[in-house]
Chain A
Amino acid sequence: MADEKKEVKPKKRMTATQAAASIGPMVKEFITGTLRARAEGKQKIAYTFIVCHHEEIFRAMDVVPVWTENFAGICGAKRDAERFLQRAESLGLSRSLCTYALCGIGFDQWREELGQMPPDAPWGGQVRPDFMISSGQILCDPRSKWYQASQQFMPDVPIYNIDLPYPLFQRDRDHRDVWDYYHQYIVKQLRGLVTFLEEQTKKKMDYDRLRELVDLSDRTWNLIEETYDLRKAVPCPMGTGDAMNTMVPINFMMATQQAYDFFVNLKKELEEKIAKGEGEVENEKYRLMWGGGLPAWFALTDFNYFNSKGASFPVETTYRMVAPLNQMDIPETKDPIEHLAWRWLGYWTFWYDKAKKRPGSEPDVERLINRIEEYKIDGVVMHEAFSCRTWHVGLIWQLHQLAKIYKPIPVFVTGKGGKKEKIYRELPSLILESDIIDITSYSEVDTKNKIDAFIETLESIRLNRAA
């Protein structure tokens, strides 16, 4: 049977920082940790999703989270997702749907059919949960459908679905006009989660502990901002390739001392590299931004290919799921649940005010513009993963809007002393196409050809500017 076959082991991506290199064993540990927790039977185990601002609640209740997107990503990175995707397809699920979810559902169905882990399951496999916390957010349909589909094979495992909306950006509206009732709703949803977990764990929430964990997360958020800001240095000490590793503590380990300590160490490492003038690449020629899209987890070595051409990635929008709390206009509160709800709203509306001030801008576009300027970016790379609408629909339009600002012609601006200056604001972009974990969508040759052509464009712009 085709689904018994594993794919060829991928090449390992070279990292620029020690911190990024330490991530692999860390991820392996929390996968094996869930297996250990299941064997010991002392803690409840829950499937759940990243970016829900609920980690603090989980950890305060001693619930072990199983990040199902993470497990699917590991299957992809190990080039061992295909057999699970095929399982899902055999159930009637289309390959055009979120492949993280397909991988997870295929795995669950197989595990439940066997009554044990599928053969050679990556890193021991994804453990059977006690319950599942899904999330009907404004930005991802599969998050509220995935566990419902998995429940077909484990109907005894209950689901709690948290609804976490935020006001969508509308140019002519002030989101603050509506966010009180958004906040009230999110608070009720999070309190509902607490009640559900109390019922499942037979324990009461310790609100002092929760408050401490929320404070720890907040400090980690600010520390991440400070750390990532160091990548503005020229040459850039750490690129997006590494950030696809360091996203792990941001997205899977928030509200832990380990995540905080990780960024203390990363910050120190980056400061040392900057002091020594060490960059991600030896001779940095081009500074690129990963401007959108989840990566192809099976092809992270493509970042090394960019690096080999002198291209560094000082910044990315993907997985930088934090924003400086001190710049958020959110009310003070001593109630940790209320704070989580405000932080949620503050994060998603972070760019709204700035976007309104610039004609033609919009929060996602505004974020790109700010990053381009702050990190001195020469070009934008995006990845269109065919199976994910959540993070990928809208990218073409964002580039379209960006092209109105960064034109491929010299632009005259008023410079110092009121004199007109001719500047070149051309910003080429590249869209790579494949998927998050479905390797059948990927062509290494085509990808490298596209990168080569893009680098040639960057070089020609560089030479023109120099001339």
Chain B
Amino acid sequence: MSETQSNIFNKIENDYKDYGFRAKELAKEGKKLIGHVCSFVPLEIITAAGCLPFRVRGDIHEPITKGDALLETIVCPYYRSVFDLSVKGKYDFLSGLVIPHGCDSMVRSYSAWSYSLPYSYFHFLNIPTVCVESSFEFFNAELNTFRRSLEKFVGRTITDHDLVQAIRIYNETRDRVRALYNLRKIDPPLLSGKELTMALTVGSSLPVDEFNALLDQVLAEVDRRGQSHLKKGPRILIDGACIDNIELINLVEELGGHVVADTICNGARDYFPRTDEGGNPIEALGRRYLDKVNCPKTYRENKTGTFEGDIASRFGDIGTYAKEFKVNGAILYVYKYCDPFGFEVPARKAYYQSINVPLLHLEDVYSAGTMGQLRTRIQAFLEMIG
């Protein structure tokens, strides 16, 4: 590996460890950074307002302390960790925070966030639970309310042109991420799951143009690799919510597997759906965030009248990824206390069975303390499918 080649991944690793390093610099320069959590927040509107979206992260190594004085322990453990870091001041450089109706943990803790943190801007974005004509109308109105509240905060109008520009640039990010994923279709993959997850995690803390430049550098470097430096091993799809710490993926890869595909929030769920260009930008954003982001929080009607038809419709993206990325097995990784994903476990299990993909279901608590137990179970699974 040449010096230039290693430099980009060294930089990513450093930025991953010192998450928010660049954002803090920008905040010092007077930029307004708006924190967000969950895939339902339309980053295009934040960017169009001249602010920088910043995804607040948790830390599986950090014991939850201050957060527990204000929030119940029955909250989603990932979200608890993010809240704990926030009240400890890790994200005090932010100017604001947007919380969507992603799950009960987000809705019910909104007051605790908005009264406990020193940000001058808070916004709650209501997301419909169904995808029907009236819910798109409602969601578009909610997006416009969000737009107006940001306009008031920054003191300028967000034009349709601003939105169109932002949509274009985020679509460019998504195209680049898709190109990175494609590099994992090769066996063994040209890019490890750990490398990709670190890059995407770091990217969610950067201005979108810097993220695009970073992705270009990663693509160029992997291109220079020519062939994979990895050994062949079981090809794994990770199915779940937000996994913004690399330990789980690292574990799979240390044990000889390769994470080649996923459905996670800071992965395919966020980056695969593009926003339609050329029409009304708010309507296009409404369509993308409500319909195209495939989150279990959104209820999708069973139009087939059969269970098999229902799961094929709800989880069809998994089957597509399994084929495209030639996966040998999947890990369904669900956080304890996560109602949206938790209630889907039996149906997801049935779906994996229907497409003949072996599945390991893990329930976890977003803590480094469980990695030992997970190692044993993942090792056994990889041996079984290997």
B334-352 to A contact mask, C-beta < 8 Å, 1/0: 1011011011111101100
Query: Which one of A93, A163, A177, A384 contacts B72 once the chains associate, using CB atoms below 8 Å?
Result: A384
| CA distance in complex: A192, B137 (Å) | 15
Contacts of A360 in B (CB 8 A): 115
Interface residue count on the A side (C-beta < 8 Å) = 62
Query: Which one of B69, B124, B129, B297 contacts A400 once the chains associate, using CB atoms below 8 Å?
Result: B69
B182 CB–A CB distance under 8 Å: no
Query: Which one of B103, B116, B336 contacts A96 once the chains associate, using CB atoms below 8 Å?
Result: B336
B74 CB–A CB distance under 8 Å: yes
Query: Which one of B115, B126, B342 contacts A97 once the chains associate, using CB atoms below 8 Å?
Result: B342
Of chain A, the residue at the smallest CB distance from B306 is A155
| CA distance in complex: A152, B349 (Å) | 12
Query: Which one of B301, B345, B361 contacts A159 once the chains associate, using CB atoms below 8 Å?
Result: B301
B305, A178: Cβ atoms under 8 Å? no
A400, B70: Cβ atoms under 8 Å? yes
B130-150 to A contact mask, C-beta < 8 Å, 1/0: 101011011001100100010
Query: Which one of A101, A173, A192, A362 contacts B134 once the chains associate, using CB atoms below 8 Å?
Result: A192
Contacts of A364 in B (CB 8 A): 111
A401 CB–B CB distance under 8 Å: yes
Contacts of B234 in A (CB 8 A): none
A396, B70: Cβ atoms under 8 Å? yes
A208 CB–B CB distance under 8 Å: no
A139, B108: Cβ atoms under 8 Å? yes
A442 CB–B CB distance under 8 Å: no
B75 CB–A CB distance under 8 Å: yes
A-B contact count (CB 8 A): 180
B154 CB–A CB distance under 8 Å: no
B347, A152: Cβ atoms under 8 Å? yes
- Given contacts A136-B299, A149-B343, A185-B138, whether A92 and B349 have CB atoms under 8 Å apart is yes
A159, B128: Cβ atoms under 8 Å? no
| CA distance in complex: A93, B342 (Å) | 6
**Chain B interface category by residue count:** 35 or more
A152, B350: Cβ atoms under 8 Å? yes
- Given contacts A155-B310, A384-B72, A389-B339, whether A92 and B346 have CB atoms under 8 Å apart is yes
Contacts of B299 in A (CB 8 A): 134, 136, 144-145, 148, 161
A413 CB–B CB distance under 8 Å: no
Of chain B, the residue at the smallest CB distance from A189 is B134
Contacts of A91 in B (CB 8 A): 345-346
Contacts of A169 in B (CB 8 A): 111
B74, A181: Cβ atoms under 8 Å? no
B4-43 to A contact mask, C-beta < 8 Å, 1/0: 0000000000000000000000000000000000000000
Of chain B, the residue at the smallest CB distance from A154 is B307
Of chain B, the residue at the smallest CB distance from A88 is B346
Of chain A, the residue at the smallest CB distance from B138 is A185
Q: A142-B339, A146-B343, A397-B116 are in contact. List 4 more A-B contacts (CB 8 A).
A: A165-B126, A386-B74, A389-B74, A394-B112
11 A-B contacts (beta carbon < 8 Å)? A93-B343, A145-B299, A146-B343, A149-B344, A152-B350, A159-B301, A390-B108, A393-B104, A394-B112, A395-B72, A397-B116
Q: Which residues of A contact B (CB under 8 A)?
A: 91-94, 96-98, 101, 134, 136-142, 144-146, 148-149, 151-152, 155-156, 158-159, 161, 163, 165, 167-171, 173, 177-178, 181-182, 184-185, 188-189, 192, 360, 362, 364, 384, 386-390, 392-397, 400-401
